[in-house]
Amino acid sequence: MDRRQQKTRQAIFNAFSTLLERKSFGNITVQEIIDEANVGRSTFYAHFETKDSLLKAMCTDIFQHVFSDDLGKEGNHDFSHAGHDFEKELTHILYHLQDNRKNLKGLLSCDSGEIFMGYFKEYLEQTFPVFINGLHYNVPADYLLNHVVCSFSETVRWWITGHEQYTPEQIAGFFIECIRKQG
Amino acid sequence: MDRRQQKTRQAIFNAFSTLLERKSFGNITVQEIIDEANVGRSTFYAHFETKDSLLKAMCTDIFQHVFSDDLGKEGNHDFSHAGHDFEKELTHILYHLQDNRKNLKGLLSCDSGEIFMGYFKEYLEQTFPVFINGLHYNVPADYLLNHVVCSFSETVRWWITGHEQYTPEQIAGFFIECIRKQG
DNA sequence: TATGTTATCAAACATTTTGTTTTGTATTTA
DNA sequence: TAAATACAAAACAAAATGTTTGATAACATA
């Protein structure tokens, strides 16, 4: 990819991230983004069709990084036993997310949070089913999946937005403690 | 309150709700709202400062209705025992929400969902602490509160948006089943 | 190095959206 | 009935959107 493209794309991402820390997605204008990024108007529209597609591209970039290691494809995922593979995988994800915490803080605020969380949940819904076989709640399967996926994504939101004093290991521990069925 | 004001306010609410079923909050213009509501431009701005405050007013209206009965103020709320008071209270809330499901469907979609869920969680955070004393998870108190509040609000979202075949009693049951600590 | 391609910027532009103001009319309240 | 209020319609300035143009600089390749 052309170096100029990379630089412009990154400049827009950075500007967008900076603005998201100050105000909500819905109140950010394209004008503000191109001013902050210091790129031409036509250049912005050459990269992104709309403000929405910029947000989506940013989310995709992050998730591609976080979920790049084919999670859930290998190993023993029975987290009801001593292996604790599931908890390790989650910790792994949390470390990746922690690396992106600067961008995440903005993305998780207000109205853009819904978009980010939506994409996040899509990835989790592909990743989690193999893990929740060890859970034996007496509820519909799709309710349980939604419950676990939402619990984890909201755990991440809680962590990134105001409780960063905890380590990924601790956060994974909190989540597992609240999710696992004891009987 | 003036009958004309009531009619206009309701017309705007209905128009907004209708539009929310078709497109996302961010892509709805004030122009579309006043066209759909069939009210003058100046009239809209006499009632609401911005599109955002309209959304907020709509959320407030709904919650005032749902949480009007001083939940959590009376009775035995120890849901770890046979009383099941907590489950009854939740069922009660769910019935109120079911009455508003037409409006909720739109509010829960996409970017307006974040706003609605935000206000919803604020109410739940005031209501739930008295209930979660019966839970003995080994996690920080504010994490547990966030976990329970998010789980319930996401349960409602799951229910309203695509799983309305379940009764309020069933939904409350699913939630309790996944939240309560067994041991 | 020479050459063709591509990304960029600046500027101008039509269009849409926003939010305000004004004036006349209809409804409500007292 | 009389005063107050809510409304519609229209005009308006300001801001934002999205597109197009032409010139310049950076890039890739031979």
Distance in angstroms (rounded) separating the CA atoms of residues A87 and A175: 9
Residue-wise pLDDT for B64-83, tens only, equals: 989 887 555 544 444 444 44
Instruction: Check: CB of residue B130 under 8 Å from CB of residue B72.
Output: yes
User: pTM for the whole thing?
Assistant: 0.90
| Residue A68: per-residue pLDDT | 82
The mean pLDDT value for A140-150 works out to 97
Nearest to B174 among A139, A151, A174 (CB): A139
pLDDT in tens, B104-139: 999 998 889 999 999 999 999 999 998 888 888 999
* φ, ψ for residue A49, nearest 5 deg: -65, -45
Task: HSE, CB side, 13 Å, CA atoms: give it for residue B18.
Answer: 12
Pairs across A and B, CB distance < 8 A: 73
CB-CB: which of A52, A140, A151 is closest to B151?
A151
pLDDT at B147 over 90: yes
Return d(Cα B125, Cα B175) in angstroms, integer. 16
A182 shares contact with chain B (CB less than 8 Å): yes
What average pLDDT does the structure give for chain B? 90
List Cβ neighbours of B37 (8 Å cut-off, separation of 6 or more): B8, B11, B12, B14, B15, B16, B44
Treating both helix axes as pointing N-terminal to C-terminal, what angle do A85-99 and A141-160 enclose, rounded to 10 degrees? 40
Q: What is the pLDDT of residue A133?
A: 84
Contacts 24+ apart (CB under 8 A), A157-162: A157/A108, A157/A113, A157/A117, A158/B143, A158/B146, A159/A94, A160/A97, A160/A101, A160/A104, A160/A105, A160/A108, A161/A105, A161/A108, A161/A109
Residue A42's CB: how many other CB atoms inside 10 A?
Answer: 8
H/E segment holding residue B61: helix B51-66
Return the nearest residue to C19, CA–C1'. B45
pLDDT digits (tens, 9 = 90+) for A96-131: 999 999 889 999 988 899 999 999 999 999 989 988
What is the average per-residue pLDDT within A166-173?
A: 98
Whether A83 shows a pLDDT value over 70: the answer reads: no
Partners of residue B114 in chain A, C-beta under 8 Å: 110-111, 113-114
Specify the nucleotide whose C1' lies closest to residue A51 (CA): D17
Give the pLDDT confidence score for residue B104 in this predicted structure.
Answer: 93
Q: Give dist(CA B57, CA B12) in Å, integer.
A: 11
H helices present in chain A, as ranges: 3-22, 30-37, 41-47, 51-66, 85-99, 101-107, 110-127, 141-160, 168-179
Distance CA A9, CA A17 (A): 12
Assess contact for A131 and A79: CB atoms under 8 A.
Answer: yes
Residue A76 has pLDDT above 90, yes or no: no
Q: Is B180 left (phi over 0), alpha (psi -120 to 50) or beta?
A: beta
* Residue predicted with more confidence, B134 or B3: B3
Q: What is the pLDDT of residue B134?
A: 84
